Amino acid sequence: MSNSSLLADKLVFCGKTALEIAHSFNDANIDATRSPLSALPKRPLPDPTLKQLAGRLSATTPPIRFSFPAHLLFHGDVRHKQTLLRIPHRCTNTPKGRHFLKVDKNVYAASANLALCQMADEAKEMLDLLLLLWEACGIYRTDLTWMESTYETVPLTSVRSLTRFMSENPKIHGAGKIRRVLHYVRDRSASVRETQIALFLGLPIRYGGFNLGLPQMNHRVDASQEARLIGGRSHFRCDLCWPDQKIDIEYQSDESHEGKLMRIKDSRRTNALISMGWHVVNVTNNEAQSLATLERIAEHVRVLLRKRSHPATRETSIRRLHLHRRLGIARDDLALPSSLQK
């Protein structure tokens, strides 16, 4: 590819741009070559050259797509200004090891784990970092890691991969932040709403959650012979699952559960799981948006899990309200719980 003549020095993408490039390789089912870098570029690429390079990369195989402004990593003491096309990030130490994807000659991108560390270092709140990590370990995308919402995708990383990366690179900026919250992250969430509900139910009370323990996401359950006859399948995927207690929460999204045929499939699946001794709890989007309704669902799941009940104080209710809204679940036109209406 001839675009290498554009670059007198290396170009290293980082942060969200690196995640978008990793998604581009995943979409093409290609494992990008991982390379070490002995040194980072001394300055970010000029805007006209960056725009020309982006056009050429989008025409390659696989097509490399990323949004603007692009996040660029460089080494040096001089601070460079942000423009409409680029956000420079100054790095004083080049990370050691094969933590860079080779995009083209002289063009690299931080690996997903390294890019997440870079983004974690700039995250202002724990919840923002959790939503980012859940998406990176999930099978969906939003504008946190991509350019539009997409479902049934390949994960950027996993909890195990992040754990290993943090252990091997404890001094990388952002690694400490991720290490402190990683036990609140699960693999294979299929949508941002599943992530939001899981965090609301699973986070400790001090963060506004119900302290039910985080569920396994899209956990595979093999069907018994009777369940196969009822559900017509050899196995099922449970959206939010506590497998030891045989509890499955199914999020009924507005997009994927419309139509008579889908309702029939959902009913057969539910009946098949019940035949194996499972408790199935359905949550619609409208129910999730109502804090009062979601609290009642959480209380029902707590009883099924045989978890200890915690006193309902005004402080607890305020924390739940804050978490519900900060997660982005709440609808403004829905009434507050009775405990907060005084």
Element (H, E) at 88: strand 86-90
User: How confident is the model at residue 4, as a pLDDT?
Assistant: 43
User: How confident is the model at residue 311, as a pLDDT?
Assistant: 86
User: How confident is the model at residue 2, as a pLDDT?
Assistant: 41
**pLDDT tens per residue across span 15-35:** 999 999 999 999 999 999 999
Q: Is 338 a residue whose pLDDT tops 70?
A: no
The residue among 6 and 53 whose pLDDT is bigger is 53
Whether residues 194 and 283 share a domain: the answer is yes
pLDDT band at 256 (very low <50, low <70, confident <90, very high): low
Whether residues 6 and 79 share a domain: the answer is yes
DSSP code at position 272: H
Name the percent of the chain lying above pLDDT 70.
Answer: 93
How confident is the model over 313-321, as a mean pLDDT? 95
Q: Is 177 a residue whose pLDDT tops 70?
A: yes
Tokens 């195989």: give the residue: 61
Whether residues 23 and 125 share a domain: the answer is yes
**Amino acid identity of 159?**
V
pLDDT band at 175 (very low <50, low <70, confident <90, very high): very high
Over the Cα atoms of the chain, what is R_g?
23
Whether residues 94 and 133 share a domain: the answer is yes
Q: Which of 125, 151, 182 is at the close of a domain?
A: 182
Whether residues 150 and 217 share a domain: the answer is no
- Domain extent, residue 314, equals 189-340
pLDDT band at 334 (very low <50, low <70, confident <90, very high): low
Q: Which of 160, 182, 204 is at the close of a domain?
A: 182
Q: Which of 182, 211, 241 is at the close of a domain?
A: 182
User: How confident is the model at residue 3, as a pLDDT?
Assistant: 43
* CB 268, CB 231: distance < 8 Å: yes
The residue among 110 and 94 whose pLDDT is bigger is 110
Whether residues 177 and 249 share a domain: the answer is no
Domain count, the chain: 2
Q: Which of 65, 66, 70, 69 is nearest to 28 (CA)?
A: 65
Whether residues 65 and 105 share a domain: the answer is yes
Whether residues 7 and 141 share a domain: the answer is yes
pLDDT band at 1 (very low <50, low <70, confident <90, very high): very low
How confident is the model over 181-208, as a mean pLDDT? 98
Q: Is 181 a residue whose pLDDT tops 60?
A: yes
Whether residues 97 and 225 share a domain: the answer is no
Whether residues 124 and 241 share a domain: the answer is no
User: How confident is the model at residue 23, as a pLDDT?
Assistant: 97
pLDDT band at 79 (very low <50, low <70, confident <90, very high): confident
**Pairwise CA distance, residues 20 & 31, whole Å:** 14
pLDDT band at 9 (very low <50, low <70, confident <90, very high): confident
- CB proximity list for 126: less than 8 A, separation 6 or greater: 181, 207
Mean of the per-residue pLDDT values of the chain? 91
Whether residues 127 and 15 share a domain: the answer is yes
Whether residues 168 and 93 share a domain: the answer is yes
